[in-house]
Amino acid sequence: MKVSFSADLDDGRAITAIGRVRATTRWRAAAEPGTEDERRAAIGSLVREAAEYDADAIVDVRFEVDDVKGVDIEGVALQRVTVTGLAVRFARAAAA
């Protein structure tokens, strides 16, 4: 499956939007640095999610870091990576 960080595919192929897909990584302590493996795992999860909708590609992929720390709860601040993108199908030529 093709994955693109831009709104279109590099080859200029026409696409039809299916819808936005989203995947997240596990929560980790905010003090721990994020890793490339973590981002790859998030992309892998995103690809599996898009495949459920028979997507051919995902465009407009964006990473975001979510964090949480309860105001009333003492504890470790947590973070996770969320990745979103637009699942698309390649435009098909009409049958003659």
Q: Please report the pLDDT score of residue 27 as a whole number.
A: 87
The answer, yes or no, to whether residue 73 has pLDDT greater than 80, is: no
Classify residue 58: in a domain, yes or no: yes
CA distance 87 to 94: 21
User: Could you tell me the two tokens for 21?
Assistant: 């897909």
41: left (phi over 0), alpha (psi -120 to 50) or beta: alpha
CA distance 32 to 65: 13
Region 35-48 average pLDDT: 92
- Whether 2 contacts 58, CB under 8 Å: yes
Classify residue 96: in a domain, yes or no: no
Q: Please report the pLDDT score of residue 77 as a whole number.
A: 82
The answer, yes or no, to whether residue 8 has pLDDT greater than 80, is: yes
Q: Please report the pLDDT score of residue 5 as a whole number.
A: 92
CATH number, domain at 14?
A: 3.30.110.70
Give the range of the structural domain holding residue 43, as residue numbers without chain letter. 2-90
Please state whether beta strands 2-3 and 57-68 pair in parallel, antiparallel, or not at all (unpaired): parallel
Classify residue 16: in a domain, yes or no: yes
Classify residue 39: in a domain, yes or no: yes
Total number of domains constituting the chain:
1
